[in-house]
Amino acid sequence: MRTLSATLSAAQKATIINPLARIVLTQGANSYTYTTTRILDIKISEAPDRQTADVLLNNSDGVLTTLDLKGYKGVVSFGATTSAGDEYSAAAPLWVVGQQLHSWPGGLSCSLSLAGIPNLLAEDRANTSYVPTAEDLKTVKDLLTELIKAVLPSRANSTAYVLDDLVIPAVSNGYTYKCTTAGTSAGSAPTFPTTIGGTVTDGTVVWTNQGKELTVYSHATAYTPTFDSEDSLIDVFMPKDAFAINLNGTRLEAIKRLLEYTKCVMRVEADEEVHILVPTTTGTTYDYEYKLAVADEHSFFNKTLRQRLIIPNYIVVKSHPSHTDQYSGYAEDTESSALIAKRQYGYFRLASNAQATAIAEAILARYQLDAERGAAAVPMNVGAEVFDYVKITDSRENDNKVGNLGYLTRHYQPGKWEMSFGLGSVAPGGLMGTSIPTTEIVQAKTEALTQAEILDPESIREAFRSIQDVLKVLIALVNQMEPWYTQIETLQSYVYGNILPRLKAIEDYLIALSSLLGPTIGEKRIVYLKVIADDTTLTTGDGKMFFTIPLEVSGMDLIDADAAVYTVSSSGLPTIQIANATDGVDMLSTKITIDVSEKTSWTAATSPVIDTTKDDVVTGDQLRVDVDVAGTGTKGLDIILVFQLP
């Protein structure tokens, strides 16, 4: 977890939070910073192998219309106003891969789609094949370093080198060299040996030929690998010819395959570096804790606990029959294998039985780490990162759950400040009860729902769980393709014969359910109304705008109402009432006010108060915006209404 100041940590645990969100976009000398005065919605999702964000910006003033932000680096930060001032915590950097401008009768907006380093690594493709020999001396750590850096640095004159530094000659000869005796290089380059294992003295440095240079991603962006912690395999095990990269193989998948030999994981962090670490998975020292209704602790909205078998649960690692020396080892999750035994086998270039067992244990540990243990929705934790070791305590059920964050999503918009996460990653598909249902099954299930079942809360929750399972399986199916990097024709057949039909099944499933499911208990809807154009003077009067309640908001209660202007009042407080014109009642017992020289009601000395006897709405109700006081020189008016299903 990212380090937070004591004041920011306390602020995000408080009952009342003044949330902050910011995105800084840079490209060369150009830089643009947008905060909550322009951000309408921002959602950022993180997992070990993907980082994405969707940002919606207010473009009512047209400032964004002329900007081409494609390719800009975007740093998203969340924070809070604390006793020390405005404090933020930045997430890993992302890059704008898509920009859209939206125009509708109520206003203008701009949406940005951003992707992170893992996503970009997944688009880096090998320009040729890489097949090391059986004599190759590179460890997993060496190969990861080459992959992440894309091109190793050239050996330099009169330079200090430490153990395990990797270089290539200034004029590449096709081999990689490791510093096996630390020291300072000579004033001129040595003659590097071209025999694997050969050594050369360079000043006080000794270089050892490790094997063929890995150049298949030399055209790609270079990143910095940072090894925060290591297991016993990463800098000892040499994959040799058991590891290869084919033409068009992605850089991300090559990194993931190497990490699968170890207990290490990858996490791209805010410093823009690729961190390799061994996550904490046991013990009572947690990166963070969530506790329900405990003073000065980080609460949660809801949680789901899950018990899941580890599958496969018996891992066998052995030498290929063609290898001269034969070794083998295994690892077993006895609890799961006693219930449903499923095995996995793998050939490796091994040095001992102990090494075979260690690799089997590492592979099993990854399946155990990824096994789903539950999920939760919480007020946002601005410092959370994937693989954080966390504990969730629910005193109502007298239980707790411990696990590592496998994925997380942060979401900010006016009235929303939350984070959802899962303990473990998505479950693999293909087993009975976890496969994506066919179109025919989906149709039969949806047609079988009666009106009573549709309105039953448990049926609604089950429907959403079904959608979630479908999407999890889809992601897992993509992950299942990873080992097939050598079977291009099989891969193509798999995509066209399995992935695409299942995508169609998901589409049919969502279309069928979307017409049946309304909002769930506690779910919120936010309505943003452009009442007066930004450059138009605000005047008093009833009925400045009417809004008809749609089906999606029916049955909800108004729980919050705020306003914003674009030119502040120099005297007099703009005052607004929200009325239900259909019922003929005012919905606010204390009207919305905006203080002099302020742009929003969120900073007002007097907050609006909802009349809870007149807060409910149904489909067809017409709400009316009345301006009782306009103020002096005020221009523009936006209204933000938040509804919630009781």
Q: Where are the beta strands (DSSP E) in 236-381?
A: 265-268, 274-277, 288-291, 302-305, 314-319, 328-332, 343-348, 374-379
For 100-136, write each residue's pLDDT tens digit: 998 877 688 999 999 999 999 999 999 999 999 999 9
Tokens for 369, please give them. Answer: 């780490």
Contact 332/313 with Cβ under 8 angstroms? yes
For 337-373, write each residue's pLDDT tens digit: 999 999 999 999 999 999 999 999 999 998 888 887 7
Other Cβ atoms within 10 Å of 152 Cβ, number:
21
Question: What pLDDT sits at residue 291?
Answer: 82
User: Could you tell me the sign of the dihedral formed by the alpha carbons of 280, 284, 287, 290, in that order?
Assistant: positive
Beta-strand pair 288-291/389-394: parallel
Question: What pLDDT sits at residue 470?
Answer: 52
User: Could you tell me the sign of the dihedral formed by the alpha carbons of 445, 450, 455, 457, in that order?
Assistant: negative
Please provide residue 526's backbone torsions phi and psi, each rounded to the nearest 5 degrees: -110, 125
Domain 6-121, CATH class in plain words: mainly beta
Residues of the chain with pLDDT under 50: 428-461, 463, 477-496, 515-517
Question: What pLDDT sits at residue 623?
Answer: 94
For 562-593, write each residue's pLDDT tens digit: 999 999 999 999 999 999 999 999 999 999 99
Question: What pLDDT sits at residue 531?
Answer: 92
Nearest to 244 by CA among 489, 533, 485, 420: 485
Count of positions (residues) in the chain:
646
Q: Tell me the fold of 524-644.
A: Jelly Rolls (2.60.120)
- 34 contact partners, CB below 8 Å, separation of at least 6: 22, 23, 25, 57
Q: Any idea which residue has 């704008």 for tokens?
A: 96
Question: What pLDDT sits at residue 646?
Answer: 81
Question: What pLDDT sits at residue 585?
Answer: 95
Rounded-to-integer distance, Cα 599 and Cα 638, Å: 10
CA 613 to chain centre: 41
Beta-strand pair 85-90/50-58: unpaired
What is the full DSSP assignment across 301-341? SEEEE-----SS-EEEEEE-TTSSS--EEEEE-HHHHHHS-
Question: What pLDDT sits at residue 467?
Answer: 53
Other Cβ atoms within 10 Å of 167 Cβ, number:
21
Enclosing H/E stretch for 202: strand 199-202
Q: Any idea which residue has 């590097």 for tokens?
A: 192
